[in-house]
Amino acid sequence: MIFTCQPGFTDLLAGELSAHGFAPVEQGAGWVRTEPGKRVGDNALHPLPDLCFPQMALLEPVEIAADSVNALAAKITEQFLTTAKTERFEGEWPFLFEEAAEMDGLGRRVKGVEKMVEENLKKRMSRVAKLAVADKPRGVARLRGLYVFFVDFKRAYVAREAVFGGQRRMADDEQAPSRSYLKIEEAYIVLGREPAFEETVVDLGAAPGGWSYSASKRGAKIVAVDNGPLKGGAYNNYKIEHRMEDAFTFRPAPDQVFDWMFCDLVEEPHHVMENLIQPWLERGWCRRFVVILKFGRVDPLALLRDVRAPESVFSRCATNVRVRHLYHDREEFTIVGELK
């Protein structure tokens, strides 16, 4: 399989894969290839485990190599036509070309191959070609399509099936007071749900207010807990009540259950898990959550194991838990889930 991730986090991706029994055989900036057949049964009946670092996993990729754009496009087209012969295309399907990061000029070359494959398909299967969408699906998904990943100028992997972790680049909003805004927007996609009109949100460590602002745009009512000031679209926002309190000691009113708990503190992650997340989840003070844990000063893979351990507060109290290294995350994990 080929797994892709944020460039700069490839070693962590390889480490996570090894921990799950996938043996890495090759890697470059933002991708890891694992040995075929090392794990048996990774098919639709036995899906991949829910992984944190991969943004996309190409299943059973076939290697193709050629010198020119024309020859690469011809081989990819052939591979698609051969495998699609008996397939029915009823709706839109993903047509995705990506490449290893940090290789000067590779992106331009890949665009050239992509255009040529598109033209080839229009000639050979015009109805099917019209249904192709050159974008990742929204959310966590396993889909058939055409996936091509270039590891260098002359070599690519072609797959017909891929698994997506839900990460994607989000659009900014000029009123958003921080880049964190992009993370919460992306987290909704991973969870498959976003705050609805009049739902209640507690935002622990809210300033300058990117997450609160994002929830306010959807009409939710937010309690933003932070000693720091709110800014931009979060400042003087009638949907947001700013409470200058300590996130670790802030408590809901008796019998109050927030629809959402957001937590984005620059603090030691175990301290956050034990002294903040644990009381909120164990006592059922919220229905669902988006939490960031910073891994800059700890061993990220050990933290990941702690989060996923059966005795962790997330495993014990929550369901639909997804731990992700988001497209917009830096040295941090985003964890989303719902209370059991």
Ligand X SMILES: C[S@@+](CC[C@H](N)C(=O)[O-])C[C@H]1O[C@@H](n2cnc3c(N)ncnc32)[C@H](O)[C@@H]1O
178 is an interface residue for ligand X by CB under 6 A: yes
Which entry of 75, 136, 183, 294 is annotated as an active-site residue? 294
CB 209 within 8 A of CB 233: yes
Site string for ligand X, 5-44 (x = CB under 6 A): ----------------------------------------
Q: Cβ closer to ligand X: 262 or 314?
A: 262
42, 226, 329, 332: residue in contact with ligand X (rule CB under 6 A): 226
Angle at 268 between CA 266 and CA 269, to 5 degrees: 95
Beta bridge partners, 200, equal 221
Question: Which one of 48-56, 123-131, 165-173, 243-251 is the stretch in contact with ligand X (CB under 6 A)?
Answer: 243-251
CB 163 within 8 A of CB 145: no
- Residue 200 is encoded by which pair of tokens? 């209640």
186 is an interface residue for ligand X by CB under 6 A: no
225 is an interface residue for ligand X by CB under 6 A: yes
220 is an interface residue for ligand X by CB under 6 A: no
233 is an interface residue for ligand X by CB under 6 A: no
Question: Which one of 19-27, 111-119, 194-202, 242-250 is the stretch in contact with ligand X (CB under 6 A)?
Answer: 242-250
Beta bridge partners, 161, equal 59, 144
CB atoms within 10 A of CB 35: 12
290 is an interface residue for ligand X by CB under 6 A: no
Q: Cβ closer to ligand X: 199 or 264?
A: 264
Which positions ≥6 away from 81 have C-beta within 8 Å? 124, 125
d(CA 264, CA 338): 17
CB 76 within 8 A of CB 156: yes
Q: Cβ closer to ligand X: 211 or 258?
A: 211
Question: Which one of 53-61, 99-107, 259-267, 313-321 is the stretch in contact with ligand X (CB under 6 A)?
Answer: 259-267
Nearest to ligand X by Cβ — which residue? 210
Question: Is 294 among the residues known to form the active site?
Answer: yes
205 is an interface residue for ligand X by CB under 6 A: yes
**DSSP H/E element including 79:** helix 69-84
Site string for ligand X, 265-284 (x = CB under 6 A): xxx-----------------
d(CA 114, CA 108): 10
Tell me the number of residues near ligand X by CB under 6 A.
22
Which positions ≥6 away from 17 have C-beta within 8 Å? 3, 23, 24, 32, 34, 51, 54
Query: Terminus-to-terminus CA distance in the chain, angstroms?
Result: 33
- Residue 3 is encoded by which pair of tokens? 């797994």
Q: Cβ closer to ligand X: 30 or 337?
A: 337
Binding footprint of ligand X on the chain (CB under 6 A):
177-178, 180-181, 205-211, 225-228, 246-248, 264-267
Known catalytic residues? Answer: 294
